[in-house]
Structure formats: structure tokens, C-alpha cells
Amino acid sequence: MVFSISWFKALWTKKDSFHYRIYQMTGLFPNNIHFYQQALTHKSVAVNDANGKSNDNERLEFLGDAILDSILADFLFKKFPYEDEGFLTQMRSKVVNRKQLSQLALDIGLDRLVRVDGKRHNVHSSIYGNAFEAFIGAIYLDQGFVKVYHYVVSNIINQHLDICALRNTETNYKSRLLEWCQKENHSLSFNTSDNPEKENTFHSYVVLNRQEYSKAVGHTKKEAEQNASFIVLKHFGLLADDK
């Protein structure tokens, strides 16, 4: 039997140590524990170093968000070779919405390691989802892209996400767009027709205040309009609760 260096390191590490808990969670023994400590430090308990730089997890959250998007784009592109850009974008959005990321953090036990001032912040908000993204950023910096990709696919997607169920979960972006337009007194309509570029598909434009936005396609008129609505919502930053 061949044992990895990480296995030997873990063997000699105290079972209750932070190093070992990261190893248990990832299967990877941390090379630079500082990345993980920072990833799990909320700004409510952060301190500044001698240069005035905070040790909170917001920069790692930014990095982890980009890394996670890249991994999911590659995974979904290969998983669904016949689906269009609108479908892939919606699927990725379903995975990385704030509620889903917070649940993933709970699933892997990340919430037990997050350092946060619970008296000042609601632990049921986006704190754990943000920490999850920062954690992905920490793994990337510590282990490289190949290992963080393997971790996300093997330990997160395959163990904690039902991609087929997510695919069948309908998010009514058209309804959300309509509600926003009614609230803000914007006129809204859809220009939807057969797609001349591909048989048995439709394309749709959102017409907002007489201006066309976002061409999107779908296998049905309803799907095309949902995809177009999603793009417009993203364009105007109206999916902040999801992302």
C-alpha cells in the first residue's frame, strides 16, 4: 500500500487541531494554514496588521467566487454538451446562489470553523456562503487549480449536489422581471419567434421601455423568455439575493 505525504502529516497532527480539521474536510493537508485561517475570518472579528491590512476573508471570497465559476463552467459545459449558453448560465446560477452556497457550507461543516461575532451578525445570512467561496480561494492558493477542481467536483458536486434535480428546478425569472417592472413603472414586453438559426428552437428579446435587451434562445417560447429575463435581471443587478 502506498501512503501519501499528506496522510503521514495528518497521522502526526493532533486530531483536534485546525490543520487536521482542514485535512478531514478536504483530503488535502494544508501547506499554508494562513490561507484557511483568513478564509474563515469574518470582518466582524478581523484585525489589521502593522500595514493596516485586514485579515478578513473578503479578498479570498472575491478570488474563490471566480475560481468556483470557472470550475462550474467547465463541469457544466462537459456535463451538458447539447445545451445552449442560456441553460448553462442558469444552471451555474442555481449552484452559486447565496442560499445554495450557505447550505453547502453547512453540509461540509464549514460553519463550525468560521470566526464571526455572532452578537453583531445574523449567522443565518450570507456569512457562511461567503466563507465557502473564500475557502475555495484558499484551497486554490494553497494547492493549485487542479486540486481545487478535483475537490469541488468530487467532494462538493458529486456528494452534495443533485445536478439533475437542479436542472428541473424552475426559477421564474420572467415573473421576477415583471414584478420589478411593475414596481418601477417600466413597460415590458417580449419579442419571441422561431429561431431561424436552429430548428425547433425559439429566440426572444426583452423589450424594456421600448428598448430591446438580451437575445436568448430556448427549446420553447417559455424557455426563451425565461432565459432572456434572466439575462436582463443579471444586467441590472437584480439577482443580488441569488449571487
Tell me whether residue 229 is in a domain. Answer: yes
Q: Tell me whether residue 34 is in a domain.
A: yes
Q: 9-51 pLDDT, tens per residue?
A: 554 556 568 888 999 999 998 999 999 999 999 988 878 776 7
Phi, psi (deg, nearest 5) at residue 31: -85, -40
| Residues in Cβ contact with 162 at an 8 Å cutoff, skipping those fewer than 6 apart | none
Q: Which residues are catalytic?
A: 65, 133
Q: How many domains does the chain divide into?
A: 2
pLDDT digits (tens, 9 = 90+) for 151-185: 999 999 999 999 888 877 766 788 889 989 999 99
Task: Count other C-beta atoms under 10 Å from residue 19's C-beta.
Answer: 15
Residues 178, 151 share a domain: no
Cite the DSSP H helix spans in the chain. Answer: 5-11, 18-26, 33-39, 58-79, 85-96, 98-107, 127-143, 145-151, 158-160, 163-167, 173-184, 221-235
Residue 243 lies in a domain: no
Tell me which of 129, 144, 167 is where a domain ends: 167
Q: pTM higher than 0.85, yes or no?
A: no
Residue 88 near residue 73, CB atoms below 8 Å: yes
140 and 39, same structural domain?
A: yes
Instruction: Give domain status of residue 242, yes or no.
Output: no
- Nearest partner of 45 among 121, 99, 107, judged by Cα: 121
CATH number for the domain that contains residue 184:
3.30.160.20
Helix (H, G, I), strand (E, B) or coil at 211: strand
Q: Distance between CA 216 and CA 181 in Å, rounded?
A: 19
Looking at the fold, whether 121 and 207 belong to one and the same domain comes out as no
Domain that residue 223 falls in: 173-235
pLDDT in tens, 170-225: 667 888 899 899 999 999 999 999 877 777 788 899 999 989 887 888 878 888 88
